[in-house]
């Protein structure tokens, strides 16, 4: 049984920071690439950032320079440090397990955290 538990969301003001955590168990291991997605009301779920098994990172343009994804393989934990938050970052954020394709793109598996709400007020 694969389990991803994400946490760390909350309500903050614009310009402030949050750090999300995702603890993985079951068959999820350092063999998996990992990612964070988010979904705002009325919008499709979108990829925010991904990290390969070796720590190579990729970011969506709308968070580049503000967010940092990292992982601690010994703890099977993935983090998303979110700085300079904007109201448009308001969404439910989901941890995801997947794989990194040879092209460099991220392929999502159907393994998700339960979601953690991030709300940014102006």
64 CB-near residues (< 8 Å, 6+ apart): none
Distance CA 17, CA 110 (A): 28
What integer pLDDT is reported at residue 28 of this predicted model? 66
What integer pLDDT is reported at residue 94 of this predicted model? 98
* DSSP β-bridge partners for residue 58: 50
Flag residues of the chain having pLDDT under 70: 1, 27-29
Report the sign of the C-alpha dihedral through residues 106, 69, 22, 42, in that order: negative
């Amino acid at each position: 049984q694969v389990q991803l538990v994400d946490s760390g969301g909350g309500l903050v003001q614009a310009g402030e920071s949050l750090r999300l955590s995702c603890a993985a168990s079951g068959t999820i291991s350092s063999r998996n690439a990992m990612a964070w997605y988010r979904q705002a009301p009325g919008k499709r779920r979108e990829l925010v950032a991904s990290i390969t098994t070796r720590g190579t990172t990729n970011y969506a343009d709308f968070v580049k320079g503000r967010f940092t994804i990292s992982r601690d393989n010994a703890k099977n934990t993935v983090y998303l440090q979110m700085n300079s938050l904007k109201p448009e970052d308001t969404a439910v954020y989901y941890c995801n397990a997947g794989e990194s394709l040879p092209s460099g793109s991220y392929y999502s598996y159907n393994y998700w955290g339960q979601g953690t709400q991030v709300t940014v007020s102006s």
